[in-house]
Structure formats: C-alpha cells, structure tokens
Amino acid sequence: MKTLRLLGLAVLLPLLGGCLEVEQHPPWMNGQYDGKTDNMHHQVHFHNDRLAWNAAITDRNHLQNEYNRTNP
C-alpha cells in the first residue's frame, strides 16, 4: 500500500510541476517593448547629475579598497 502511494506521488509531482509554468517573456507591441522604462540611478537619486553619481560611486569604491585600508 505504501509503495503504491509513493509510486502515485512520483507520477503526480512531475505532472503538477508543468502546471506551474508562468510566462516569462515581456509584452511586445508593434515590435517594441511595451513596458515601463527604467530610470537610471543618477536620474532618480542625484537629480540627473551624472558627475555627482559617478563621484559617489568612486568614493564608495575607494572606501572598499583593501589595499588602502591595510597600509599604514
């Protein structure tokens, strides 16, 4: 009886797994992507000032440099 249940479960699980497939392709309209355009980081957080954004990234990278942190 237990073997029959395990066999039935082994057959049922792959069949149910195929039902959970979701559409992963973006919507297209007239050959173009029909979704929301993503804003760049400098547009959102730095009021469209690309140089300020680049300076912030460079400063963060300098603080994460292990060679600069370990040398006396």
Locate tokens 């029909």: which residue?
A: 34
User: What's the domain count of the chain?
Assistant: 1
- Contacts of residues 2-7 at CB distance under 8 Å and 24 or more positions apart, as own/partner, are none
In a domain, 46, yes or no: yes
d(CA 4, CA 20): 25
Q: Which range marks the domain in which residue 44 is found?
A: 39-72
> What is the predicted pLDDT for the residue at 72?
62
Over residues 1-5, the mean pLDDT reads 85
In a domain, 10, yes or no: no
- Contacts of residues 44-50 at CB distance under 8 Å and 24 or more positions apart, as own/partner, are none
pLDDT tens per residue across span 12-64: 777 776 666 777 777 777 777 777 888 888 888 888 899 999 999 999 988 88
> What is the predicted pLDDT for the residue at 35?
77
